[in-house]
């Protein structure tokens, strides 16, 4: 059974894990900058539900498979790297939002969900969280539900904060040059977020 100290430790751990800068936070901030908060909600939901479902699945036993099959981890790293590089390049090539009335589409739920499931760093986080907080539950199912729920709820708060920061930045950008600099910076930071995957 979870006591107050264990609960606070879990909340702190999940907040730090979901709020620290990385690929998902950079993507959410960039989306908030370009599309605003409301149009970024599907991306945030995909990331948060992706993370919650992945962490719950790992806590439920899938994490042991990743530790057993090192080729799976390598494949996840490669897929995650390629997808993040693709997103980084796409963002870096953008200019100001279209004034021509042509509606751009933000990254959506499925892409956000997939980004998390192919991110080896999140798999490692899930294994670490499962081991660290196993003592707070009486069963694997309870642990999976507790961790999955915590990552969805607290991850939503973290993603919202990053997206709101991005939306505010988007209000400050006025010229094409400012948008190009911001997009190149977001692309660079998203590309840089790949480095921890290989450390």
What average pLDDT does this structure show over 77-91? Answer: 84
pLDDT at 103 over 80: no
Residue 65 has pLDDT above 80, yes or no: no
Instruction: Tell me if the pTM is above 0.95.
Output: no
**Percent of the chain beyond pLDDT 70?**
91
Better pLDDT: 163 or 131: 163
By the 10 Å C-beta count (0-12 exposed, 13-18 middle, 19+ buried), 60 is classed as middle
Give the pLDDT confidence score for residue 151 in this predicted structure. 96
Distance CA 39, CA 144 (A): 30
Res 110 pLDDT > 90: yes
pLDDT of residue 99: 55
Considering Cα of 155, then 158, then 161, then 162, what sign does the dihedral take? negative
Mean pLDDT of the region 116-135: 85
Containing H/E element for 41?
Answer: helix 23-57
User: Is the model's pLDDT at 64 over the cut of 70?
Assistant: no
Looking at per-residue pLDDT, the higher value among 104 and 149 belongs to 149
Range 142-167 average pLDDT: 95
Section 42-63 average pLDDT: 92
pLDDT surpassing 90 at residue 5: no
Q: Burial, 14: exposed, middle or buried (Cβ in 10 Å; 0-12, 13-18, 19+)?
A: buried
For the cut 60, the answer to whether the pLDDT of residue 101 exceeds it is no
Which of 31, 52, 13, 40 minimizes the C-alpha distance to 190? 31
Describe the crossing of helices 23-57 and 70-92 by its angle, rounded to 10 degrees: 150
What would the two tokens of residue 174 be?
């006025």
Residue with the bigger pLDDT between 75 and 143: it is 143
Q: What is the total residue count of the chain?
A: 199
pLDDT averaged over every residue in the chain? 86
Tell me the two tokens of residue 32: 């908030």
Query: For 117-142, what is the mean pLDDT?
Result: 85
- 173, 35 in Cβ contact below 8 A? no
Q: Residue 27 CB: number of other CB atoms within 10 A?
A: 31
Specify the pLDDT at position 174.
Answer: 87
Determine contact, residues 7/19, Cβ cutoff 8 Å.
no
What number is the average pLDDT over the span 150-175?
Answer: 95
Specify the pLDDT at position 100.
47
CA distance 81 to 104: 25
Closest CA to 47 of 186, 196, 187, 151: 151
């Amino acid at each position: 059974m979870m006591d107050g100290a264990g609960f606070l430790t879990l909340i702190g751990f999940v907040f730090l894990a979901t709020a620290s800068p990385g690929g998902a936070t950079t993507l959410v901030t960039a989306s908030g900058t370009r599309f605003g908060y409301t149009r970024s909600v599907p991306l945030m939901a995909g990331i948060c539900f992706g993370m919650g479902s992945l962490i719950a699945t790992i806590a439920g036993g899938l994490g042991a498979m990743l530790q057993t099959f090192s080729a799976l981890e390598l494949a996840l790293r490669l897929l995650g790297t390629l997808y993040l590089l693709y997103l980084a390049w796409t963002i870096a090539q953008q200019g100001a939002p279209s004034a021509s009335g042509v509606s751009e589409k933000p990254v959506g739920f499925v892409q956000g969900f997939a980004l998390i499931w192919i991110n080896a760093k999140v798999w490692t986080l899930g294994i670490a969280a499962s081991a660290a907080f196993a003592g707070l539950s009486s069963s694997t199912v309870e642990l999976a539900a507790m961790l999955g729920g915590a990552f969805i709820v607290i991850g939503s708060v973290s993603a919202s904060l990053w997206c709101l920061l991005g939306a505010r930045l988007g209000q400050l950008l006025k010229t094409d040059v400012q948008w190009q600099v911001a997009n190149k910076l977001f692309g660079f930071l998203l590309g840089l977020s790949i480095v921890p995957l290989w450390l």
